[in-house]
Chains A and B, each alone.
Chain A
Amino acid sequence: MYTTETVGPTPTPLAPVSTLPTNTKSVHLTGDNKIENVELLNPVNLSLECIWSGNQNKQPNITGYWRKGGVDIQDSRVPVDPENQQYKLKRVFNIVSEEHLGNYTCVFENEAELDFILAVPRIGEKREKPIVSYVGDFVVLTCKMEDNKPVPRTWNWFKNNGTDKASEDLQIIFDEQLFEAQRYDITIDGRNTKLMVKDVSISDSGVYHCAAVYNISTSTSKMQLKVITIWEPLKPFLGILIEVVILVTAILIYERNHSKKKKAEAVRPVHEELNQKPEDAVVQPHHRAVLHALVETQALCAPQQVLPGVIGVRFH
């Protein structure tokens, strides 16, 4: 059975205190530790205990009290007497729903204090950069709870309405009246969840939230989807294409000019030598080989530039 849950405070009936399980967290204040993280999934009677070893003053009695969210908890002031040179401060909290989570501080007045941060497991991997997709393509958004964290009861996906609005505008994606169900495909597999958006369009851009639902609260993570058209990469691609065409053309033109000059230079002295003795138009064997080489060269490198004059010379 699937139930819809929203992020705001829900008027769930409070379970009777006696049936809740009990959990204890006991921490020694060493001076280095200031914060203790406590992960909670289910409603629980949480007993928090702070143990302090005292200091040089060795005062006989100290007042200890608790704070929640920076605000002193009423009726929490108690005198603390040292037992075996240790000061102990302990209190049981009834953690049932989301408003009971938060920052609890045990305070030994004017001496030491420690923060307990009660929260649902956080989704570890946060994708900082936006996920890019193309119009008409599909995109898969994933969320994963780390293996050392407990499995969520289920997952939910939300999309921001508008571009930079605040979380109040979140709309749950699986609500068929608001979103076309054929385009979205949610798969949930224990610690993993995937949202597949098919046939994306520009309006699908925005911030998406995945929420890991636990009995006590939900833990969210967000990612940004950016949809672009094919023109975006096509612009640098065309730029590179033009550069290649220009380079190749330039190289080929340069080489054609260069080789024209060289061939003109090489052939001229042969012409001159041949023209010097017009009556003796017999070609020397030396020249014959040269001309053979030249003709062959011409024919293979630049077939259209066969030297007319050379061919006409009579070979001996």
Chain B
Amino acid sequence: MTDRKLKSQSQEDGAEGPDGGWGWVLVVALFVSTSLVFGLMRGLGIFFVEFVQYFEESAQAISWISSIGLAAQQFFSPLGAALCNAYNTRLVVMTGGFLSGLGLILASQATCLVHLYFTMGIISGLGWGLVFTPMVATVMANFTRRRALAVGLGFSSIGLSSFAFNPLFQLLVETYAWRGALLILGGLSLNIMACGALIQPECHSKASTKVDSQSRSSRPDLLQRVSSYLEVSLLCERPYLTYALGVTLLNFGYFVPYFHLVAHSRQVGFSEYRAAFIMSAAGVTDIFGRIASGWFSDLGHFRVVHLLTLWTVLAGVFIMLLSVSSWTGSYAVMIVISLLYGFCSGALTSMVFAVVPMIMGVERMMGGLGLLQLIESCAGLLGTPLSGWLRDMTGNYTASFVVAGSFVLLGSLTMTTLPHYFSCAEPPPPQRPVFVDNSETLNLELGQKDGCPSEFNHQTVGQRESTH
């Protein structure tokens, strides 16, 4: 009887528990916070026109605002991950929510463009960085069998919120002008704090085990602690580097259709309305792709890495076909390819995150995700200007799309070089050599009695072998 009570205690303490329960509440929190981060970022285009008119600046100067915001979000991701490892995830996410709201509220009082760069760009970007990676990592840590589905459901909010936010933002700007609209958006962003409050404090405290292990082995140097929080050691591991390279190549090509598809359709000769509809079609199937691929991968018929390769190859092919199919001039063909592309693009997004714990283990996921965001940010920043430059050189978008598609294919090829790629069964994730103290041994024993899914058993077996 005691064992059962203690087991329930450890289930609450241990984040690598079974699926469901509070995990689904966290999925809702991820849904809301992702829509308030990325959905909001995508909707900022509506303020673009207002800013150009008010500040009398060029379009390029204004578009730097969202560039700085996105770059800040990705740049500060490792910081958010490190802070979660050092302190409390809940506190970090709530702080991030507060900062993102604060940035927008301050932006509503801006009197020059630099104010906007600083408030909407850096402060809000910092806030978003502190929110996104911790939320994703927390949700993934709370699921094992249904991980991809949970993440897919959470990310489906991006597409849905784009639909909802565009008319909403338009209404806000028409009623309150951009200042009032930004103020209200800041208020909406503060809801991320409520999402953060839903995260339960990690009671099996990663921080203590890290610090303990460090203090028993050597003097806890500040640099050592910081590097362990940031999981810098991951950068020395080949699987992680391979994966990071693959994701970087993927990001070179991934964003190109989102930026250039409408312009490409218009150039082919379709009207404004039809071109926008092609983009919307991709957006709709994107939502379904995220959820469906998450559900399908959790069924377990295929390995997550294989599914990821499948979706990236298909996405790359469809990106290339998007430009080639425009030669036929047929609207129906472009719509079909766009629908298929949207589905694959959404599908691969879920997989990209679900593969991460397979490569580095659930413990190091937080820091690993943070570093991954930072690395892929460079590709995201460079990819679109590159395709724009290609378009300027060749006069149409065919070259840009073909190059983008080939980058995506190259990324998927890189991922085939991951270790144990061609084996049919899931290999055990690599272990961080940890000096395990007795409390953890107890958790492991209980974990095995639970009958947890095989992955967790792999971990427990590995850790027990390392300690005994």
Contact A132-B176, Cβ < 8 Å, known A241-B190, A289-B439, A290-B442: yes
Chain A 276-298 interface mask (CB, 8 Å, partner B; 1/0): 00000000000011101110110
When chains A and B are docked, how far (Å) is the Cα of A266 from the Cα of B188? 39
Rounded to whole angstroms, the CA-CA distance of A255 and B12 in the bound complex is: 12
Contact A237 B187 (CB under 8 A): yes
Task: Encode contact with B along A228-245: 1 for CB under 8 Å, 0 otherwise.
Answer: 101011101100110110
Contact A300 B205 (CB under 8 A): yes
When chains A and B are docked, how far (Å) is the Cα of A140 from the Cα of B191?
34
Contact B439 A140 (CB under 8 A): no
Find residues 265-316 in chain A having any chain B CB closer than 8 Å to their own CB. Answer: 265-266, 269-270, 273, 288-290, 292-294, 296-297, 300-301
Q: How far is the CA of A228 from the CA of B176 in the complex (A)?
A: 8
Across-interface contacts of B200 in A (CB, < 8 A): 255
Report which of A129, A255, A262 forms a contact with B174, defined as CB distance below 8 A: A129
Asked if A92 CB lies within 8 Å of chain B CBs, one says no
Cross-interface CB contact of A297 among B176, B177, B187, B204, cutoff 8 Å:
B204
Q: Is the CB of B5 within 8 A of A301?
A: no
A248 at the B interface (CB under 8 A): yes
Interfacial chain A residues near B441, Cβ < 8 Å: 289
Q: B5 to A266, Cβ gap below 8 A?
A: yes
Q: Tell yes or no: B197 within 8 A of A by CB.
A: yes
Q: Within 8 Å CB of B174, what residues of A? A: 129, 132
- Report if A133-B177 is in contact (Cβ < 8 Å); known contacts: A251-B194, A292-B438, A300-B208: yes
> What is the number of contacts between chain A and chain B, taking CB atoms within 8 Å?
101
Check if A248 sits within 8 Å of B193, measured CB to CB. yes
B175 lies within 8 A of A132 (CB): yes
Given contacts A244-B190, A247-B197, whether A140 and B184 have CB atoms under 8 Å apart is no
A289 pairs with B442, CB closer than 8 A? yes
Residues B12 and A262 in contact, CB atoms below 8 Å apart: yes
Q: Which of B183, B191, B201, B208 contacts A237 (CB 8 A)?
A: B183
What is the CA–CA distance of A144 and B382 in the complex, to the nearest angstrom?
Answer: 36
CB proximity of B251 to chain A, nearest CB, Å: 33
B443 at the interface (CB under 8 A from A): yes
| Closest residue of A by beta carbon distance from B13 | A297
Asked if A184 is at the interface (CB within 8 A of a chain B CB), the reply is no
Q: Which of B201, B439, B442 contacts A301 (CB 8 A)?
A: B201
Q: A226's closest neighbor in chain B, by CB?
A: B177
Q: B203 near A301 (CB under 8 angstroms)?
A: yes
**Which of chain A's residues have a CB closer than 8 A to the CB of B188?**
240
Asked whether, in the complex, the Cβ of B6 is within 8 Å of the Cβ of A266, the reply is yes
Taking the nearest CB of chain B, how far is it from the CB of A197, in angstroms?
A: 13
Question: Interface range on chain B: under 10, 10 to 19, 20 to 34, or 35 or more?
Answer: 35 or more
Residues of A within 8 A of B94 (CB): 248
Q: How far is the CA of A294 from the CA of B13 in the complex (A)?
A: 10
Interchain CA distance A237-B180 in the complex, whole Å: 9
Main secondary structure of the interface of A (DSSP, over half): helix
Q: Which residues of chain A come closer than 8 Å to B183, judged between CB atoms?
A: 233-234, 237
State which residues 164-193 of B face A: CB under 8 Å: 174-177, 179-181, 183-184, 186-188, 190-191, 193
Q: State the CA gap A292–B56 with chains docked (Å).
A: 65
Residues in A with CB closer than 8 Å to B13 are: 293, 297
> Which secondary structure dominates where chain B touches chain A?
helix
CB distance from A70 to the nearest CB of B (A): 38
B232, chain A: closest CB distance, angstroms:
25
Q: Tell me the bound Cα distance from A94 to B420 in angstroms.
A: 90
Find A134's partner among B9, B179, B198, B208 (CB 8 Å cutoff).
B179
Query: Do the beta carbons of B176 and A247 come within 8 Å of each other?
Result: no
Q: B5 to A297, Cβ gap below 8 A? A: no
Which residues does chain A contribute within 8 Å of B5, judged by CB atoms? 265-266, 269
A251 — which chain B residues lie within 8 A by C-beta? 194, 197-198
Say yes or no: A244 contacts B194, CB within 8 Å.
yes
- B58 CB-CB contact with A under 8 Å: no
The residues of B that contact A273 with a CB separation of less than 8 Å are 2
**Closest-CB distance, A219 to chain B (whole angstroms):** 22
Closest chain B residue to A252 by CB distance? B197
State which of B1, B184, B201 has its C-beta within 8 Å of the C-beta of A236: B184
CA distance A265 to B5 in the complex (A): 8
Convert B219-233 into 0s and 1s, putting 1 for each residue whose CB lies closer than 8 angstroms to a CB of A.
000000000000000
Roughly how many angstroms separate A142 CA and B53 CA in the complex, as a whole number? 9
Residue of A nearest to B53 (CB): A140
> Which residues of chain A are within 8 angstroms of B258 by Cβ–Cβ distance?
none
Query: Which residue of A is nearest B190, CB measured?
Result: A244
Residue of A whose beta carbon sits closest to that of B178: A132
Asked whether, in the complex, the Cβ of B208 is within 8 Å of the Cβ of A233, the reply is no
B466 at the interface (CB under 8 A from A): no
Q: Are B179 and A266 interface neighbours, CB within 8 A?
A: no
Q: Which residue of B lies closest to A244 (CB)?
A: B190
B residues apposed to A, CB below 8 Å = 1-2, 5-6, 8-10, 12-13, 53-54, 56, 94, 174-177, 179-181, 183-184, 186-188, 190-191, 193-194, 197-198, 200-201, 203-205, 208, 438-439, 441-443
A–B Cβ pairs within 8 angstroms, 27 of them: A132-B174, A140-B56, A232-B176, A233-B180, A233-B183, A236-B187, A237-B183, A237-B184, A240-B187, A241-B187, A244-B191, A244-B194, A247-B194, A248-B94, A248-B197, A251-B197, A262-B12, A269-B1, A269-B2, A270-B2, A289-B438, A289-B441, A289-B442, A290-B6, A293-B442, A296-B205, A297-B203
* Leading 6 A-B pairs by shortest Cβ distance: A233-B180, A240-B187, A132-B177, A247-B194, A293-B439, A251-B197
